[in-house]
Amino acid sequence: MKAKFFAVFRAAFLMAGLLVPLAASAQWPPPPMATPNDQRNALNHMRTQLNLFQNATRTASNFGAQGAGNLDGQFQETRNVYHGFLQTLTPQQRDRGANSLAELDSGFDILGEAFTYYQNDLAAGRPANAALRDLCKLLSQGMRMWSQEFNKTCSALRVGLG
């Protein structure tokens, strides 16, 4: 009897549009906070990825036409690792470093424009090896500067120190 009453009661409210189905009202708990160890691991992963990217800028010219594609793949992976790193920051760190973190994110957009310049060089008839050499140089220098700012920001935010 009790079960029938609740079924009728719920059906009446659903028809009246006053009760949201239970599945729609469920909320997931927030993800667990990252530990200082998680932050250190993400920071080390980011630094490893930066080294891999710098290595790609040194070796891309050995791969001819594929060199720019390899660089683009490494660039996208570096950006993805950075976004993964951001997920380990505490809300307080994100708030304190909001401007610096936004500038770092914008830095990826600026560095990404180098690929457009490379394509424009090719379209203008510049030899592919010369255009690729310039792309490598530009990305290497730009990512070195980006890395310095990244390290300063991480130090200021006390990443991995708890």
Query: Would residue 16 count as lying in a domain?
Result: no
For residue 106, the enclosing domain spans 34-157
- Structure letter (DSSP) for residue 61: G
Query: Would residue 15 count as lying in a domain?
Result: no
Query: Would residue 4 count as lying in a domain?
Result: no
Write down the pTM of the prediction: 0.78
Return mean pLDDT, the chain. 87
The distance of Cα 124 from the centroid of its chain, to the nearest Å, equals: 32
Query: Would residue 100 count as lying in a domain?
Result: yes
Query: Would residue 94 count as lying in a domain?
Result: yes
Number of domains in the chain: 1
Tokens 């599945």, located at residue:
23
Q: Is the pLDDT of residue 1 over 60?
A: no
Query: Would residue 13 count as lying in a domain?
Result: no
| Residue (of 88, 84, 111, 104) closest to 39 by Cα position | 88
- What CATH number did the domain enclosing 49 receive? 1.20.120
CA distances from 40 to 15, 16, 83, 117, 155 (A): 53, 53, 15, 35, 12
Query: Would residue 52 count as lying in a domain?
Result: yes
Q: Taking residues 106-132, report their average pLDDT.
A: 96
Question: What's the CA gap between 128 and 134, in Å, rounded?
Answer: 10
Question: What's the CA gap between 158 and 150, in Å, rounded?
Answer: 12
User: Which are the contacts of 146, defined by CB distance < 8 A and separation ≥ 6?
Assistant: 104, 107, 108, 111
- Better pLDDT: 5 or 100: 100
> Residue 122: its pLDDT value, please?
95
Query: Would residue 106 count as lying in a domain?
Result: yes
Query: What confidence tier does 67 reach under pLDDT thresholds 50, 70, 90?
Result: very high
